[in-house]
Amino acid sequence: MAATNIEVWQQATVIETTAVTEHIKRIVLRPDLPRRADPGSHIDVKVNLPSSTQGEALKRSYSVVESANDGARLTVSVFRAPSSRGGSVAMHALQVGDTLEVTQPLQNFPLRIGAPRYLLLAGGIGITAIAAMARVLRELHADYTLVYAGRSRAAMAYLDDLQQLHGRQLVAHINDEGTNLDVASLVAALAPDTELYMCGPIRLMDSVRRSWLEKQLDPANLRFETFGNSGWYAPQEFTVRIPRLGISTTVSPDRSMLEALEDAGADMMFDCRKGECGLCEVRVLRLEGAIDHRDVFYSDRQQKAGEKICCCVSRVASVGAVGGAVQGPEQGLPGIVIEVP
Ligand code: FES
Q: 159-166 and 127-139 helices cross at what angle (nearest 10)?
A: 20
We find that the CATH architecture of domain 9-107 is Beta Barrel (2.40)
DSSP state of 157: T
Q: Where in the chain is the domain with CATH 3.40.50.80?
A: 117-225
Q: Does residue 272's CB lie within 6 angstroms of at least one atom of ligand 1?
A: yes
CA contacts within 13 A on the Cβ side of 45: 29
Q: If you take atom 3 of ligand 1, which residue's CA is the nearest one? A: 275
Q: Which of 305, 260, 264 is nearest to 283 (CA)?
A: 305
Q: Ligand 1 mean position to 276 CA, how many Å?
A: 6
SS3 state at 206: helix
Q: Does residue 15's CB lie within 6 angstroms of at least one atom of ligand 1?
A: no
pLDDT at 250: 95
DSSP state of 4: B
**In whole angstroms, what is the distance from residue 288 CA to residue 293 CA?**
15
Q: Ligand 1 mean position to 259 CA, how many Å?
A: 12
Strand ranges (DSSP E) for 216-333?
222-225, 238-242, 247-251, 281-288, 290-292, 308-310, 315-317
Q: Where in the chain is the domain with CATH 3.10.20.30?
A: 238-339
- Return the best residue to mutate from 262, 279, 298, 311 for the ligand 1 pocket (most ligand atoms within 8 A of CB): 279
Contacts of residue 71, defined as CB under 8 A and 6 or more positions apart, other chains included, come to 31, 34, 35, 36, 37, 104, 105
Backbone torsions φ then ψ of 234, nearest 5 degrees: -65, 145
Residue 310 CA: nearest ligand 1 atom is 4
Q: Ligand 1 mean position to 62 CA, how many Å?
A: 17
We find that the CATH architecture of domain 238-339 is Roll (3.10)
Tell me the residue type at 261: L
pLDDT at 254: 79
SS3 state at 314: coil
pLDDT at 322: 37
Q: Does residue 310's CB lie within 6 angstroms of at least one atom of ligand 1?
A: yes
Per residue in 297-333, is it b (16+ CB within 10 Å) or e — as a string? bbeeeebeeeebbbbbbbbbbbbeeeeeebebeeeeb
Residue 278 CA: nearest ligand 1 atom is 3
DSSP state of 111: P
Q: Does residue 136's CB lie within 6 angstroms of at least one atom of ligand 1?
A: no
Question: pLDDT tens string for the chain (341 positions)?
Answer: 555 677 899 999 999 999 999 999 999 999 999 999 999 999 999 987 665 545 567 788 899 998 888 889 999 999 987 655 567 888 999 999 999 999 999 988 899 999 999 999 999 999 999 999 999 999 999 999 999 999 999 999 999 999 999 999 999 999 999 999 999 999 999 999 999 999 998 889 889 988 998 999 998 899 988 765 567 777 889 999 999 999 999 998 878 999 999 999 999 999 888 888 899 999 999 999 999 998 888 887 898 899 999 999 999 998 753 333 333 344 578 999 999 98
The per-residue DSSP string of 120-142 comes to: EEEEGGGHHHHHHHHHHHHHTT-
DSSP H or E segment with residue 81? none
pLDDT at 339: 93
Q: Which of 149, 153, 148, 151 is nearest to 133 (CA)?
A: 148
Q: Ligand 1 mean position to 191 CA, how many Å?
A: 32
SS3 state at 253: coil
Residue 269 CA: nearest ligand 1 atom is 1
Q: Does residue 295's CB lie within 6 angstroms of at least one atom of ligand 1?
A: yes
Residue 297 CA: nearest ligand 1 atom is 3
Residue 272 CA: nearest ligand 1 atom is 2
**In whole angstroms, what is the distance from residue 118 CA to residue 134 CA?**
9
**In whole angstroms, what is the distance from residue 317 CA to residue 257 CA?**
12
Residue 271 CA: nearest ligand 1 atom is 1
Q: Ligand 1 mean position to 312 CA, how many Å?
A: 6
Residue 313 CA: nearest ligand 1 atom is 4
Q: Are 150 and 175 in contact (CB under 8 A)?
A: yes
CATH number (3.50.50.60, 3.40.50.80, 3.40.50.1000, 3.40.640.10) of 117-225 reads: 3.40.50.80
Q: Does residue 270's CB lie within 6 angstroms of at least one atom of ligand 1?
A: yes
pTM of the model: 0.78
Contacts of residue 337, defined as CB under 8 A and 6 or more positions apart, other chains included, come to 240, 241, 242, 243, 284, 285, 286, 287
pLDDT at 324: 33
